[in-house]
A and B are shown apart, each in its own frame.
Chain A
Amino acid sequence: ELKVEQNPLFLSMQEGKNYTIYCNYSTTSDRLYWYRQDPGKSLESLFVLLSNGAVKQEGRLMASLDTKARLSTLHITAAVHDLSATYFCAVDGLFGNEKLTFGTGTRLTIIP
């Protein structure tokens, strides 16, 4: 059974600082997703990572994937308050198994 672990579960950081959220998964997968969720709201797609070494950046967020280590990171650069949210990674199955298994989420709070 595919397991996805995120850490930390909670993260409180000051504006302007950098930090990284880690996502480990237990078995080989086709692709890895990062989503953002504001309280009580929908899941907003941030990144889809398809291959080993993939790196994608959008604004202050950068995601990377190491399929050999079964590890993805979401790096936050010079955090701003608007980035406060819960961030989820999710992993897809192989060969058309499109069931997403989600991590527990990282609740990020940016303190002014």
Chain B
Amino acid sequence: DSGVTQTPKHLITATGQRVTLRCSPRSGDLSVYWYQQSLDQGLQFLIQYYNGEERAKGNILERFSAQQFPDLHSELNLSSLELGDSALYFCASSGRDRVTSRTSGNTIYFGEGSWLTVV
């Protein structure tokens, strides 16, 4: 158990709908990351938040958005869903920050993932 909690574990929804995926990072971790894993694209970085602020952005579609709340949990909102959005969405967390990141050997811990199926 990595300590990163994601809900829901499985989700089936129709095209055009909107869903919200939730993530609670490991206790004390300030950074939260979202990744998408699909058969054709592999593991793709979507977005990172650090202590409530957006830190880095990857290949995240405009239909997708995320935020990190004061209690450090994060939500990934996926809207106007398409069949191609079906994937495993991972949340990850780490305790690293910009100051210590070059010297820290802290790893990035992944949650169990949320399986999204769009039909």
Residues in chain A within 8 A of chain B (CB atoms): 30-31, 33, 35, 40-45, 48, 50, 88, 90, 95-102, 104-105
The bracket for how many chain B residues form the interface is 20 to 34
Over the window 54-85 of chain B, the binary record of Cβ atoms lying under 8 Å from chain A Cβ atoms (1 yes, 0 no) is 01101000000000000000000000000000
Over the window 19-44 of chain B, the binary record of Cβ atoms lying under 8 Å from chain A Cβ atoms (1 yes, 0 no) is 00000000000010101000000111
Contacts of B48 in A (CB 8 A): 98-99
A-B contacts besides A30-B101, A99-B58, 15 pairs, CB < 8 Å: A41-B112, A42-B2, A42-B113, A43-B92, A43-B110, A44-B110, A45-B109, A48-B106, A96-B98, A98-B48, A98-B55, A98-B101, A99-B45, A99-B48, A104-B42
Instruction: Select from chain A the residue with minimum beta-carbon distance to B88.
Output: A40
CB pair B108–A45 under 8 Å, yes or no, is yes
Bound state CA distance, A42 and B44, in angstroms?
14
CB pair B112–A96 under 8 Å, yes or no, is no
CB pair A95–B56 under 8 Å, yes or no, is no
Instruction: Select from chain B the residue with minimum beta-carbon distance to A45.
Output: B107
Bound state CA distance, A18 and B58, in angstroms?
37
CB pair A42–B108 under 8 Å, yes or no, is no
CB pair B112–A42 under 8 Å, yes or no, is yes
Contacts of B90 in A (CB 8 A): 42-43
Contacts of B92 in A (CB 8 A): 43
Instruction: Select from chain B the residue with minimum beta-carbon distance to A33.
Output: B107
Bound state CA distance, A96 and B105, in angstroms?
13
Instruction: Select from chain B the residue with minimum beta-carbon distance to A96.
Output: B98
CB pair B105–A88 under 8 Å, yes or no, is no
